[in-house]
């Protein structure tokens, strides 16, 4: 697709504010403490103990109370000095001078629990949110386990927060990953039903929080809150070292906030050479227009999230912005939204919705949308026919002939391991065997089904699935298979078909073919540039510093996170990238290895040999050297 991000020429001043919301005891304050590396906010408190708190860089260090119509805030020695009547002040403040996270004007807002039973405290939070709503860069809503009706009602009341909202399911107890993922799935289901497309992410750091608190208490050494803030640098704990080699989920959210924090204000585009910063400026420029309901900007924000350009990569956020842009008439967003419904990308699989949005994009002459629409309409027609056939069989509306054939056919219709196309073809064979159609009608029906099958072959990798279906029919339903064994043997023994996805190379615009749904990085045969292929199509490969792919190793080991691939990557960073000849070797490898890796996907024996050779090299040479270092 040629519709790509266009970077802005200048960038205006950015507001960098992050808001944390949620019921009490969901982990908001603990999250802020770990971000700062210092336990400045008390955690083991109820919703009535702490008001809205503004955390930012300022001088002098201290804890303050901001009262209305007063130029200077009131200094506090301890949180216990906060008056019980919260209506007498606007919010509390913590100033931490020279903190690296806050140095470039980042402001973090902590808030009291939304489920407070104190009406005056609830009014305090409402006044804060409703008076001069701020342009937050990020809003986190914390949950502990499943979502409550109180949280749902609160979120419905503050829809203006949704544009930057991420719901964090914060699991504070030690639980298996499967149980954590189940909770995340339940929350996603409720959010989609009650609120729509809002990102829901899982945060699980096991016992790291508890260990962080214990270490903080040791470093605090009896200091009060003011002394802790004043001498924060000597009390700071490095969170990265605590998370290393631990099983955690969602640690990237600490990195997301750090990325926002370190983005400069009022940066001129012409003075920037760093591509990552340029990407961030593009994202922030588009988000401003997107919030003003600009459809093209909304689509571009979606692309930023989909490809990780200038912001963290998130399919959920991408779909959210695609949906907004699609409603506002952007044809590219309509195509992406239809694709998400068709393939179940962060949305429930819904062919009817996919058809609807493909039709919308087709009306604006979107070429790929027209092709997808034709295929889906064909599939819907075949599905309808299959449903009608199943209904006839279940109600004994089809006359009985041969008992073996009839019994096998009824069992086949209800067999979930047999593909619907195989069932459709078998239906015509059974009808012909029962003399319910003439030879000419039978030939026409079979030809129609085979033509439909070929058209689907061109867009979906069904060949293996289809052959497995006829292998099952051969083994489990021999009487049905014998109805036209010559045709079925031909299908069963058919050579493997590699179904290709094709589109224009984003670098040279030449037509470029890759095996469908073999997502990853490919080398364009025309210009030799690396192209990223994902569920969203082709895009330019953006190499992140320190995280380049080991293409051949990834191909033979089956994934970028395999332990052997990690060993090779670590060896590259420690020993090859530190000298001139190693850098030349790495550059040569990245130029030529993607093409070799692409070939290995279909030469399993060659992959097996290379994997065995790499196993020996890693075991005898690489891992010992890494260990010694």
Over residues 336-374, the pLDDT tens digits come to: 898 888 877 777 778 888 889 999 999 998 878 887 887
Q: How far apart are CA 302 and CA 300, in angstroms?
A: 5
Using CB atoms within 10 Å of the CB of residue 560, give its burial: 0 to 12 exposed, 13 to 18 middle, 19+ buried: middle
The confidence score (pLDDT) of residue 152 equals 92
Q: How far apart are CA 515 and CA 530, in angstroms?
A: 16
**pLDDT classification of 316: cutoffs 50, 70, 90:** confident
The confidence score (pLDDT) of residue 502 equals 57
pLDDT over 90 for what percent of the chain? 10
Please list the residues that pair with 202 across neighbouring strands: 169
Look at residues 51, 59, 135 and name the one whose alpha carbon lies nearest to residue 97: 59
pLDDT over 70 for what percent of the chain? 71
Q: How far apart are CA 278 and CA 10, in angstroms?
A: 10
Q: How far apart are CA 626 and CA 629, in angstroms?
A: 5
The confidence score (pLDDT) of residue 381 equals 60
For 221-236, letters b (16+ CB in 10 Å) and e give: eeeebbebbbebeebe
Q: Are strands 62-66 and 74-76 parallel, antiparallel or unpaired?
A: antiparallel
Give the Cβ contact number of residue 91 at 10 Å: 20
Looking at every residue in the chain, the average pLDDT score rounds to 75
Query: What DSSP character marks residue 602?
Result: T
The confidence score (pLDDT) of residue 245 equals 65
The confidence score (pLDDT) of residue 154 equals 94
Look at residues 19, 22, 305 and name the one whose alpha carbon lies nearest to residue 135: 19
pLDDT at 47 over 50: no
**What is the residue-wise DSSP string for 22-85?**
ESTTSSHHHHHHHHHTS--S--S--TTS---EEEE--SS-EEEEE-TT-SSPEEESSGGGS-S-
| End-to-end CA, the chain | 46
Could you tell me the CA-to-CA distances from 350 to 28, 326, 355, 443 in Å, in that order?
36, 16, 9, 33
Using CB atoms within 10 Å of the CB of residue 291, give its burial: 0 to 12 exposed, 13 to 18 middle, 19+ buried: middle
- Residue 515, SS3 per DSSP: strand
**What is the residue-wise DSSP string for 373-419?**
HHHHHHHHHHHHHHHHHHHHHHTT-SPP--HHHHHHHHHHHT-TTS-
Helix (H) / strand (E) element for 199: namely: none
CB 522 within 8 A of CB 507: no
pLDDT digits (tens, 9 = 90+) for 198-236: 888 889 887 788 888 888 888 888 888 888 888 888 888
pLDDT at 431 over 80: no
Lowest-pLDDT range, 220-234, 241-255, 320-334, 360-374?
241-255
Look at residues 101, 50, 104, 111 and name the one whose alpha carbon lies nearest to residue 239: 101
Lowest-pLDDT range, 139-153, 156-170, 263-277, 284-298?
263-277
pLDDT at 66 over 60: yes
Could you tell me the CA-to-CA distances from 496 to 30, 288, 387, 463, 513 in Å, in that order?
55, 49, 29, 7, 17
Chain mean position to CA 65: 40
Per-residue pLDDT averaged across 227-253, rounded?
A: 81
The confidence score (pLDDT) of residue 440 equals 66
Q: To 10 degrees, what angle do helices 403-413 and 367-394 make?
A: 130
pLDDT at 265 over 80: no
Query: What DSSP character marks residue 268?
Result: B
**What is the residue-wise DSSP string for 459-497?**
TS--HHHHHHHHHHHHHH-HHHHGGGHHHHHHHHTPPPP
The confidence score (pLDDT) of residue 506 equals 78
Query: What DSSP character marks residue 231?
Result: T
The confidence score (pLDDT) of residue 354 equals 87
The confidence score (pLDDT) of residue 96 equals 92
Query: What DSSP character marks residue 319?
Result: H
The confidence score (pLDDT) of residue 72 equals 82
Using CB atoms within 10 Å of the CB of residue 451, give its burial: 0 to 12 exposed, 13 to 18 middle, 19+ buried: exposed
Q: How far apart are CA 426 and CA 314, in angstroms?
A: 43
Q: Which residue has the higher pLDDT, 350 or 168?
A: 168
The confidence score (pLDDT) of residue 168 equals 93
The confidence score (pLDDT) of residue 379 equals 62
Per-residue pLDDT averaged across 589-618, rounded?
A: 74
Query: What DSSP character marks residue 133?
Result: -
The confidence score (pLDDT) of residue 518 equals 58
């Amino acid at each position: 697709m040629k519709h790509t991000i266009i970077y802005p020429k200048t960038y205006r001043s950015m507001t960098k504010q992050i808001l944390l919301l949620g019921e009490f005891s969901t982990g908001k304050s603990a999250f802020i403490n770990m971000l700062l590396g210092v336990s400045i906010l008390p955690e083991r408190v109820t919703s009535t103990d702490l008001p809205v708190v503004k955390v930012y860089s300022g001088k002098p260090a201290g804890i303050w109370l901001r009262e209305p119509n007063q130029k200077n805030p009131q200094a506090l020695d301890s949180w216990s000095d906060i008056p019980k009547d919260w209506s007498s002040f606007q919010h509390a403040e913590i100033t931490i001078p020279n903190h690296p996270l806050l140095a470039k004007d980042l402001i973090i807002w902590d808030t009291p629990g939304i489920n407070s039973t104190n009406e005056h405290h609830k009014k305090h939070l409402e006044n804060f949110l409703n008076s001069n709503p701020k342009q937050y860069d990020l809003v986190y809503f914390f949950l502990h386990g499943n979502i409550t009706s109180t949280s749902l009602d609160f979120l419905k009341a503050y829809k203006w927060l949704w544009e930057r909202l991420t719901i964090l399911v914060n699991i504070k107890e030690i639980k298996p990953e499967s149980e954590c993922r189940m909770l995340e799935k339940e929350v996603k289901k409720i959010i989609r039903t009650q609120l729509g497309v809002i990102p829901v992410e899982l945060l699980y750091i096991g016992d790291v929080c508890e260990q962080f608190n214990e270490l903080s208490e040791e470093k605090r050494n009896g200091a009060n809150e003011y002394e802790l803030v004043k001498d924060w640098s000597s009390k700071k704990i490095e969170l990265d070292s605590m998370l290393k080699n631990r099983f955690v989920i969602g640690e990237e959210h600490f990195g997301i906030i750090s990325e926002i924090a370190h983005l400069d204000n009022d940066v001129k585009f012409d003075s920037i050479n760093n591509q990552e910063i340029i990407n961030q400026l593009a994202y922030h420029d588009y988000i401003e227009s997107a919030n003003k309901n600009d459809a093209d900007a909304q689509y571009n924000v979606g692309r930023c999230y989909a490809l990780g350009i200038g912001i963290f990569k998130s399919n959920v956020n991408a779909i959210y912005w695609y949906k907004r842009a699609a409603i506002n008439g952007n044809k590219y967003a309509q195509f992406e939204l239809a694709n998400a419904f068709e393939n179940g990308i962060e949305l429930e699989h819904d062919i009817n919705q996919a058809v609807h949005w493909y039709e919308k994009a087709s009306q604006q002459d979107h070429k790929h949308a027209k092709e997808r629409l034709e295929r889906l309409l064909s599939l819907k027609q075949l599905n309808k026919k299959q449903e009608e056939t199943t209904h006839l069989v279940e109600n004994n509306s089809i006359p009985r002939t041969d008992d073996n054939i009839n019994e096998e056919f009824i069992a086949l219709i209800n067999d979930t391991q047999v593909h619907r196309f195989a069932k459709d073809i078998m239906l015509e064979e059974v009808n012909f065997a029962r003399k319910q159609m003439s030879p000419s009608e039978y030939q026409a029906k079979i030809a129609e089904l085979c033509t439909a099958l070929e058209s689907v072959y061109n867009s979906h990798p069904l060949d293996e699935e289809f052959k497995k279906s006829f292998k099952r029919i051969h083994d489990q339903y021999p009487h049905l298979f014998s109805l036209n064994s010559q045709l079925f043997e031909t299908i069963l023994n058919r050579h493997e078909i590699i179904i290709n996805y094709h589109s224009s190379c984003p670098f040279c615009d030449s037509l470029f073919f890759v095996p469908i749904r073999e997502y990853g990085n490919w080398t364009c045969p025309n210009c030799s540039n690396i192209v990223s292929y994902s569920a969203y199509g082709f895009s330019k490969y953006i190499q992140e510093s320190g995280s380049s792919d080991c293409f051949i190793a990834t191909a033979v080991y089956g994934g970028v996170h395999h332990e052997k691939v990690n060993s090779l990557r670590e060896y590259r960073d420690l020993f090859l990238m530190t000298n001139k000849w190693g850098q030349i070797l790495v550059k040569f490898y990245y130029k030529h290895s993607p093409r070799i890796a692409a070939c290995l996907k279909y030469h399993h024996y060659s992959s097996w040999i290379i994997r065995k050779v790499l196993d020996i090299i890693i075991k005898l040479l690489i891992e010992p050297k890494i260990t010694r270092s």
